[in-house]
A and B are shown apart, each in its own frame.
Chain A
Amino acid sequence: MNTDRMKTGFSTFASVRFVFVGALLLAASAMSARAELRIDITRGNIDPMPVAITDFYSGDTQTAAIGRELAEVIAADLERSGLFAPIDQRAFIQSNESLLVRPRFSDWRVINAQALVSGGVSYEQDGRLKFEFRLWDVFAETQMTGFAYRTPRNNWRRVAHIIADAIYKRITGEEGYFDSRLVYVAETGPHTMRVKRLAIMDQDGANHKYLTDGSALVLTPRFSPTRQEITYLSYFNDTPRVYLFDINTGRQEMLGAFKGMTFAPRFSPDGNSVIMSYARDGDSDIWIMDLRTRRARQVTNDPAIDTSPSFSPDGRQITFNSDRGGTQQLYVMDADGNNVRRISFGQGRYATPVWSPRGDLIAFTKFYGGRFFIGVMRPDGTGERLLTESFLDEAPTWSPNGRVLVFFRQTRTTSSGAGGVTRIYSVDLTGYNLRQVTTPTDASDPAWSPLNR
């Protein structure tokens, strides 16, 4: 459950402790009397829910500044989801200080707020910050949820994302995804001599950091589901091979001693192995390397190109890309390589299948009629839906809750080198809410982390 995640998670990443704020149980009993304040996120293009997010109150000015920024980060997270419409704070009537006692719900109904977020921030004896947060149903006049968090001062942004996740979960019924990060490839220079570096940032673009210096070409980073690790392709020493990158230490390690190119790596759901392509004499097959024994075993054996493998979340199946039928199509097989079946039958070429963390869908890139699309289909190949289209859209990656896709988009280049702008975008699973993800430079090959822990 959510609380478990927080408990286990905080021990390794940063120390944040939480306690329930008392009113929750009371609120739960009161709410059963009336229809819940709720967003059904399975519908597309819904009207965003108006929500009032107040600055977290503090008596002293220095801490109050953090309370203000905290509210900004929460509001930005919720707004970006496309499901919430934070109300301009200038419309607020009730003061933040008096909110700490109890909301005057009529003041919030007047400005059409359906949900209200209030809270306080203060210093603890040990120098840590304490955040108290409450989510209110304005019409039912009840508290929907509430927590208190303690954390080192420099960790306040994580608390903001955790609170945004709690709000998202309480109102949509789905896990949030704001307390997460993106790793991607930062691109600079002309396309003929592109410099590519691994970069990592919070999902909202904060805490941006380069992981490699650009001296070696790097591609296709992917997060470990269980450790602070990334697997990716590096051309270090002009030898394209799959590597592991330890985020905490910066250590890079080549995976295995393959005689040819290894590429297209992804972790298994338990984090104990990496599945990838291995190319020998023009033939790319899929292999799995066990990270504990460092033994590799071959999964596909076909003269065609087999690449872009991705495990189902239960680890029992693998989806991959192959041109064994003539052109690139999507396939699913059992994890041991048996029972291979083609799942894509629409017009055009299909590539980069990625299994949703919920297991219900496979996202892909499609190339048809000179255009590229990001789409989804069920693992049996039914229910294909295209979500985006452009000159070049490629490489979808799932949010931890399987509700949002991030991918990259490249524009046309002129013969003088103008254009060719490459940026990361997010789109809701419903196909709505397309937004650019802010990065300092051109960006490609995004990969979403699991929820932080």
Chain B
Amino acid sequence: MRMKLFGLMAAMLLVAGCTENADNGDTTQGGGEVAPTPVADTPVALDPQEDLVVNVGDRIFFDFDKSNLRPDAIDQLNRQADWLKMNGGITVAIEGHCDERGTREYNLALGDRRASSASQYLRSMGVDGGRIETISYGKERPAVLGSNEEAWAQNRRAVMVVKSGSLS
């Protein structure tokens, strides 16, 4: 909820910035009068995935060759669970990923385990399992390039991707 409010406020601030600009009589944009942007009920039609990424966080991270949920991952999943409960029409896929320091087939299984860990936790927090699918990409889709520990740490992840539905 807090995150959602923050998003709303950010959007309103943006809008406010625009109108203020127009009020100052800035005519450099040409086209003469700039109609004040109506601050309506839906300030910005935010894409659900964007909202998830910006206001909630779409990913959790894992230790090497592990699929258990770290404390930082649990915090993140709690926010995702709240967001999913708040936006009941949205279905998601959780993608499980691995770093490049493993064999392909084992990493497919490990990615599946990671996605499943996240999915099971969300269900335990009361999210309907029918809204969550899982898919493993093993080491096939690293988020970050580089053969170093920083890159590997960012690539050992489970990422929530919106499949259908819109924000409530």
Interface residues of chain A, those whose CB is within 8 Å of chain B, are 190-194, 196, 217, 219-220, 233, 238-240, 260-261, 263-264, 277, 279, 281-284, 305, 307-308, 321, 323, 327-328, 349, 351-352, 365, 367, 391-392, 394-395, 410, 412-417, 419-420, 445
Pick the residue among B67, B120, B143, B146 that contacts A413 (CB under 8 A): B146
Q: Is the CB of A281 within 8 A of B120?
A: yes
- Which residue of A is nearest B95, CB measured? A238
27 intermolecular pairs with C-beta atoms under 8 Å apart = A190-B145, A191-B145, A194-B140, A194-B141, A220-B104, A240-B136, A260-B112, A261-B135, A277-B109, A281-B116, A282-B67, A282-B112, A282-B115, A282-B120, A284-B109, A305-B106, A305-B110, A307-B105, A308-B103, A321-B106, A352-B103, A394-B104, A413-B145, A413-B147, A417-B145, A419-B147, A420-B145
Q: Evaluate whether A351 and B145 lie within 8 angstroms (CB atoms) in the complex, with A279-B136, A305-B113, A307-B109 already known.
A: no
Pick the residue among B103, B120, B145 that contacts A414 (CB under 8 A): B145
Q: Evaluate whether A307 and B106 lie within 8 angstroms (CB atoms) in the complex, with A217-B140, A415-B151 already known.
A: yes
- Which residue of B is nearest A305, CB measured? B109
Kindly state the separation between the CA atoms of A442 and B21 in the bound complex, as whole angstroms: 53
Q: Does B117 contact A (CB under 8 A)?
A: yes
* Shortest CB distance A302–B (Å): 12
Q: Is the CB of A415 within 8 A of B110?
A: no
Chain A residues, Cβ within 8 Å of B144: 192, 415
Q: Is the CB of A264 within 8 A of B108?
A: yes
Q: Does B142 contact A (CB under 8 A)?
A: yes
Chain B 86-126 residues near chain A, CB threshold 8 A? 100-106, 108-110, 112-117, 120
Kindly state the separation between the CA atoms of A392 and B112 in the bound complex, as whole angstroms: 22
Q: Is the CB of B103 within 8 A of A282?
A: no
Chain B residues, Cβ within 8 Å of A349: 65
Kindly state the separation between the CA atoms of A263 and B100 in the bound complex, as whole angstroms: 18
* Shortest CB distance B67–A (Å): 7
- Which residue of A is nearest B100, CB measured? A392
Chain B residues, Cβ within 8 Å of A365: 103
Q: Does B42 contact A (CB under 8 A)?
A: no
Kindly state the separation between the CA atoms of A150 and B142 in the bound complex, as whole angstroms: 52
Q: Does B148 contact A (CB under 8 A)?
A: yes
- Which residue of B is nearest A263, CB measured? B108
Chain B residues, Cβ within 8 Å of A415: 144-146, 148, 151
Kindly state the separation between the CA atoms of A279 and B113 in the bound complex, as whole angstroms: 9
Q: Is the CB of B135 within 8 A of A219?
A: no
Chain A residues, Cβ within 8 Å of B143: 192
Q: Is the CB of A395 within 8 A of B103?
A: yes
* Shortest CB distance B130–A (Å): 13
Q: Is the CB of B142 within 8 A of A191?
A: yes
Kindly state the separation between the CA atoms of A19 and B109 in the bound complex, as whole angstroms: 52
Q: Is the CB of A307 within 8 A of B108?
A: yes
Q: Evaluate whether A414 and B106 lie within 8 angstroms (CB atoms) in the complex, with A261-B112, A282-B112 already known.
A: no
Chain A residues, Cβ within 8 Å of B113: 282-284, 305
Kindly state the separation between the CA atoms of A279 and B114 in the bound complex, as whole angstroms: 12
Q: How many A-B residue pairs have CB under 8 A?
A: 112
Chain A residues, Cβ within 8 Å of B116: 281-283
Chain B residues, Cβ within 8 Å of A307: 105-106, 108-109
Chain B residues, Cβ within 8 Å of A351: 102-103, 105-106
- Which residue of B is nearest A408, CB measured? B104
Kindly state the separation between the CA atoms of A192 and B105 in the bound complex, as whole angstroms: 18
* Shortest CB distance A445–B (Å): 7
Other than A282-B112, A282-B116, give 14 A-B pairs with Cβ distance below 8 A: A238-B135, A240-B108, A282-B67, A308-B103, A321-B105, A328-B106, A349-B65, A352-B103, A367-B101, A367-B103, A413-B146, A413-B147, A414-B146, A415-B148
Closest 10 CB pairs of A and B: A282-B116, A415-B146, A412-B147, A351-B103, A284-B109, A305-B109, A264-B105, A282-B113, A279-B112, A417-B145
Kindly state the separation between the CA atoms of A193 and B143 in the bound complex, as whole angstroms: 9
Kindly state the separation between the CA atoms of A124 and B165 in the bound complex, as whole angstroms: 70
Chain B 123-160 residues near chain A, CB threshold 8 A? 135-136, 140-148, 151
Pick the residue among B106, B112, B146 that contacts A308 (CB under 8 A): B106
- Which residue of B is nearest A370, CB measured? B101
Chain B residues, Cβ within 8 Å of A220: 104-105
Kindly state the separation between the CA atoms of A327 and B113 in the bound complex, as whole angstroms: 14
Q: Is the CB of B147 within 8 A of A277?
A: no
Kindly state the separation between the CA atoms of A328 and B109 in the bound complex, as whole angstroms: 12
Instruction: Report B29-65 CB contacts with A as 1/0, cut-off 8 Å.
Output: 0000000000000000000000000000000000001
- Which residue of A is nearest B140, CB measured? A217
Kindly state the separation between the CA atoms of A282 and B136 in the bound complex, as whole angstroms: 10
Q: Is the CB of A395 within 8 A of B145?
A: no
Pick the residue among B65, B105, B140 that contacts A352 (CB under 8 A): B105
Kindly state the separation between the CA atoms of A351 and B108 in the bound complex, as whole angstroms: 13
Kindly state the separation between the CA atoms of A405 and B117 in the bound complex, as whole angstroms: 37
Q: Evaluate whether A192 and B141 lie within 8 angstroms (CB atoms) in the complex, with A282-B116, A412-B147, A419-B147 already known.
A: yes
Q: Is the CB of B105 within 8 A of A308?
A: yes
- Which residue of B is nearest A193, CB measured? B141
Kindly state the separation between the CA atoms of A233 and B116 in the bound complex, as whole angstroms: 20
Pick the residue among A240, A277, A305 that contacts B135 (CB under 8 A): A240
Pick the residue among A219, A277, A308, A416 that contacts B145 (CB under 8 A): A416
- Which residue of B is nearest A265, CB measured? B105
Kindly state the separation between the CA atoms of A396 and B147 in the bound complex, as whole angstroms: 22
* Shortest CB distance B75–A (Å): 21
Kindly state the separation between the CA atoms of A308 and B147 in the bound complex, as whole angstroms: 25
Chain B residues, Cβ within 8 Å of A410: 100
Chain A residues, Cβ within 8 Å of B120: 281-282
Kindly state the separation between the CA atoms of A233 and B146 in the bound complex, as whole angstroms: 26
